[in-house]
Amino acid sequence: MAKKTENKQEGEEEKQKKLSLEEYEKKVIELANKGLTAEKIGEDLRKKNIHPKEYEKKISKILKDKYINPDLKNTEIKLEKIEEHLKKNHQDKKAKRERSRIFSRVRKIKKYLKQI
């Protein structure tokens, strides 16, 4: 019976170990330097039993300047790929149309994010 109480105490100690806000911010910045997005940082922290909701600041607020909205990032990457394609294939009319469509989407997302 003594073993069961020891195991419970060890489990409680692990749950009680909570990072301070400064340690949490350092961990987030460390993961961001590895090239992870805010969403991936949150997933990684949850795997390590560090839940971002327990802390005051959001991951995106901690990253501030480094944080790029994932929608904006993905559409800009798509636009770059289309422009590379058009350099090789000048007469691809569907790609020209797609470039203007994606460019307008990027512009709309930027405008939306400024309003928030």
- Cβ–Cβ < 8 Å for 25, 57: yes
pLDDT at residue 16 in the model: 47
Q: Which residues of 6-33 are buried (b: 16+ CB within 10 A; e: fewer)?
A: eeeeeeeeeeeeeeeeeebbebbeebbe
Which residues have CB under 8 Å from 113's CB, separation 6+?
Answer: 69, 72
pLDDT at residue 13 in the model: 44
- Which tokens belong to 99? 């470039």
Q: Detail the DSSP E strand segments found in 1-116.
A: none
Alpha carbon 51 to its chain centroid, in Å, reads: 15
DSSP-derived 3-state class of residue 42: helix
DSSP-derived 3-state class of residue 2: helix
Q: Each residue's pLDDT tens digit in the chain (116 positions)?
A: 555 555 555 544 445 467 777 888 888 888 888 878 888 888 888 888 888 788 877 887 888 767 778 888 899 999 999 999 999 999 999 999 999 999 999 999 999 988 76
- Tell me the domain boundaries of the chain: 19-66, 70-115
pLDDT at residue 8 in the model: 52
- The residue to which tokens 């992870």 are assigned: 36
pLDDT at residue 81 in the model: 97
